[in-house]
Structure 1
């Protein structure tokens, strides 16, 4: 008996696509006429992948951008929120029910979405946010990003004029 090897990344993308469809239905039914709805945007599942035995990705809608995952990502989900450890650090998620999807965990990134002129801008932001979430806090790249771009200015040296470039 031969069979196709299951593709966990395809499963993650399929879960994200099902969730996006649920949000499209919610948008059409209940959100479109609300003042927080950005007509320039659509609903899209961004970067869904396997992570620590679960699925994670970013959901972009005309009214929010959230990091989302199935609520089963946490071992115990008795409260209204949970903390999940990501490479970048611990993130607090809120639990909710989404139609056919059941319980999901979500962490708000943006709401409302009026700072985004189009889907390209929202997509780029979602991809960058997911990349940051997956960047280990102690990685060389994360440490480099935290370092100030320039050396802090010492007030005394500034007033004395000793910060100017000296040319010989």
Structure 2
């Protein structure tokens, strides 16, 4: 949960749920995905950064065919439709609801699919960790505000006349 004291039991529960979900995706991968053209054989299935969040849990699932932000749908109040919007520190994110094997209903938001831009699990894991950090970065935090600020440069006559401020075309 954001802004609350660490709770090792809740952290373990979230990590355990992520691992159970990863096991379900491993089974799906072995049974149904391995021979499809969207399967990146250089990658495996891994639950990245699962943690408690607002009474439920969230993390990123990396598979050879997708990378999604994932949450259990069972803790959500309104899950009768195909999608649900969840408020994160970084802003509102729309999730698609679906069934995953014996895990039941999950809410997922696609980050990448297919996964061919990742050469190995280290690259996929680093991307997942960075995406989760961004998702948990409050929209009004100093870091988020700094990143949104437009880059400003001094426009002086010399640079303008030299053409260094104009678009370069190749």
What is the TM-score of this pair, normalised by structure 2? 0.87
Tell whether 2:160 aligns with 1:159. Answer: yes
Of 17, 20, 37, the residue aligned with 2:19 is: 17
Match of 1:126 in 2: 128
Q: Which runs of 5+ in 2 are unaligned?
A: 1-6, 166-170
How many residues align structurally? 159
Match of 1:109 in 2: 111
Match of 1:84 in 2: 86
Aligned residue runs from structure 1 range 135-154, under 5 A: 135-148=137-150, 150-152=151-153, 154=155
What is the TM-score of this pair, normalised by structure 1? 0.88
Q: Which runs of 5+ in 1 are unaligned?
A: none
Q: Give the secondary structure class of the aligned counterpart of 1:7.
A: helix
Q: Give the secondary structure class of the aligned counterpart of 1:56.
A: strand
Match of 2:33 in 1: 31
Tell whether 2:48 aligns with 1:46. Answer: yes
Per mean C-alpha deviation after superposition, the further-off stretch among 52-61 and 6-15 is: 6-15
Distance 1:39 1:155, change over 3 A: farther
Shift of 1:74: 2.2
The runs of 4+ residues in structure 1 deviating greater than 3 Å are 152-158
Per mean C-alpha deviation after superposition, the further-off stretch among 138-147 and 26-35 is: 138-147
Distance 1:155 1:101, change over 3 A: farther
